[in-house]
Amino acid sequence: MSHKKEQTTFSIEVIPAPCVVVIFGATGDLTKRKIMPSLCQLCANNLIHEHTSVICCGRSDYTTESYRSYISQYVPKCSHCNKKSCFLDNIIYVRTDAKEPKTFQDLADQLNIKDSKETASPLNHLFYLAVPPASVTELIAALSQAKLLEETNPDAWRHLAIEKPFGTDLESAVKLDTFLHEHIAEEDIYRIDHYLAKETVQNILITRFANRIFETIWDHHAIDHIRISTAETVGLEGRNSYFDKSGLLRDMIQNHLMEILMLVAMEPPASSNADAIHVAKLNLIEKIRPFTEESMATGIVRAQYTSGNDMAGYLEEPDIPADSMTETFVSLKLFIDNERWQDVPFYIQAGKRMDSQDSEIEIVFKRSTLSFFSEQLSKTLTPNTLTLRIRPDEGMQLDLQAKHSGPKLAIGNLQFDTTYEQQSSNQGAPDAYARLLLDAMLHDHTLFVRGATIIESWKLFTPVLEAWKNNPDKYPLLSYPAGSEGPEFSLEG
C-alpha cells in the first residue's frame, strides 16, 4: 500500500475592481524596469480588470503617442493581448509639473473622462510616486490642491503608493508622516519596501505559523542565535551622490532588514489580516533593546570598501568626496527584551562590493543537551540550522544531524534543500512589484510598511547615526578590500 502524500497548495488570486493607475516618474528607471513590466505581467495573467487603465505623468514634453513609442522599448506587448485589450495600447500621457497647478487640472480632466466613459460608476485611483524622495512632498501637495486625493464617492478609493526612503532620521520621518496625514488617511497610504514582497519574506509567517514543528521551538529555549544578512557584489550602481548622503545603515538595515527581523521575531498575530500583523510587528520593534554607548562600541561594526580585486575603492568612485566617512558595510548585534527572546542575539549584516551576492535568514538552534555520544563525537556535531534564502535561488534549507553510510557512528550533516521554483505549481505568480501593485489595488496592507513602525525603527538607529557623526574616533570606520568577505571582526562570543 502506498502512503505517498500528494502535493497540495491553497492558492487564490483576486482580480481587483476597475482602477486607474497614475504613475509619476513615467520616464524614470523604476517605471521602465519594474512598474510597467509588472503591470504587463498582471495583465498577461488576467489579474487586472479589463477596465483598468494607466496614466503616465512626467515633466517631459511627450505626447501620448510618442510616450507609447518610448515605453514600448522597455515593455513588450503582452503576448495574449489583442490591440484593443492590451493596457499598453491604452496608456495616456499627461505632462505634469508640481510647480504648474494647471497641469494637475489637466490630469483631473483625464481622470474625469475615464470615470465617465469606462464604467457606470467612478473608478478607483492608485497614484504611484516613482520619483526621487525630494519630489514626493511637492507632488502630494499638488495632488491634494487639485482635490485628487479626496474620496468624494464611498464606492471609489484613492490610494497613494510611495517608495522608501521614508525620512533620513527620526526628525525627518516624523515630519514626513505628519505631512502625509495632513493630505491622506493612513489606510490609503501604501509605503513600498519591495523586500516584503519577495517570496522568501512572504514565507516567513507561513513557515512559523503553519508548521506545528516550529511552534514550540521558536524561542530562547531552542534557538541559539539568528542571523539576517545581505551581501552585494555591486557597488553604487549610479546612485553615488544619493548613497554618499545615505550610507548602508539608512539604505538597507533601517528598513529592509528590520522589516525581516520583525516578521522573524514577532509574537503570533491575533489573525491573518493586515492590521493584526502590523500590530504584532510594532509590538516587537518596541521591545528591541536601545543601543548604548557601550553596545554601539562593541556591538556595531561599520566599514568602507577600498580598492581590491581590480575594483576601485569607495573614495575613488565618481562624485564621492575624498574624505567621505560613509559606510558601505554594517554588522550589528541586538537583543529583544521580551520573554520569547531573552538573551538571544540577533546578528544583522549588510555589505556592498562583497565576494558574493546573497541574502538569507539563518535560525541557528542550540546543540542537543540529550546526546549520549562520546564527548569527542558530540563536539563534532554541528547545530541544526534553518536557512531561508532570499537570493540567489529563493528557497529553504534545513540542516540536521544524521547517520551517513558506513560505520555505526558515521554521523554528519544531512541537508534538506528546496527552491520555490522547484515547488511552484503556478508559474504565473506575481513577482515582487507585481504583487505590490496587485495588493495596493486590492486594499491589502499586509506587505506594506506602516508609519508607526518606521518611526520606531528611526528611534533605534538615529542615536547610532548621531554617534558616528559626532564622535568618529570612538566609533571608527574600518576598511575592507572590494570583492572580499568584508572587514575582520567578530561580534559573536
Residue ranges with strand state E in 187-246: 189-192, 223-231
Q: Please provide residue 42's backbone torsions phi and psi, each rounded to the nearest 5 degrees.
A: -60, -40
C-alpha angle 57-58-64 in degrees, rounded to nearest 5 = 60
In the predicted model, is pLDDT for residue 83 greater than 50? Answer: no
For residue 371, give the C-alpha cell: 546526546
User: Which positions ≥6 away from 138 have C-beta within 8 Å?
Assistant: 98, 99
Model confidence pLDDT, tens digit, residues 29-48? 999 999 998 998 888 888 88
pLDDT tens-digit map of 402-425: 877 766 666 777 889 988 777 665
Q: Which of the residue ranges 100-114, 115-129, 214-228 would you say has the lowest mean pLDDT? A: 115-129
Cell numbers describing residue 167:
525620512
Name the 3-class secondary structure at 492. Answer: coil
For residues 270 and 251, give the distance between their C-alpha atoms in angstroms, rounded to a whole number.
Answer: 31
Rounded mean pLDDT, 135-161: 94
Indicate the pLDDT class of residue 373, thresholds 50, 70 and 90: low
Q: Which of 46-55, 182-191, 409-418 has the lowest mean pLDDT?
A: 409-418
Is the pLDDT score of 7 beyond 70? no
Nearest by Cα to 248 from 380, 370, 352: 352
Domain boundaries, the chain: 19-163, 196-424+451-481
Residue range 197-229, pLDDT digits in tens: 988 899 999 999 999 999 889 999 999 999 999
pLDDT of residue 236: 94
Judged against a pLDDT cut of 70, whether residue 466 lies above it is answered with yes
Over range 93-109, report the average pLDDT: 95
Three-class SS state of 246: helix
Which three three-digit cell numbers place residue 328?
A: 558601505
Q: Residue 3: is its pLDDT beyond 50?
A: no
Active-site residue, 278 included? no
Residue 78: what pLDDT? 57
Model confidence over 292-348: pLDDT tens digits? 999 999 999 999 999 999 999 999 999 999 999 999 999 999 999 999 999 999 999
Q: Rounded mean pLDDT of the chain?
A: 90
Among the listed residues 256, 404, 443, 445, the single catalytic one is 256
Tens-place pLDDT, residues 12-31? 788 899 999 999 999 999 99
Region 178-186 average pLDDT: 96
Q: Does residue 273 carry a pLDDT above 70? A: yes
What's the confidence (pLDDT) of residue 5? 40
CA–CA gap between residue 203 and residue 419 (Å, rounded): 12
- Homologous superfamily (CATH) for 196-424+451-481: Dihydrodipicolinate Reductase; domain 2 (3.30.360.10)
Q: Which of 60, 3, 4, 56 is nearest to 30 (CA)?
A: 56
Fold classified for 19-163: Rossmann fold (3.40.50)
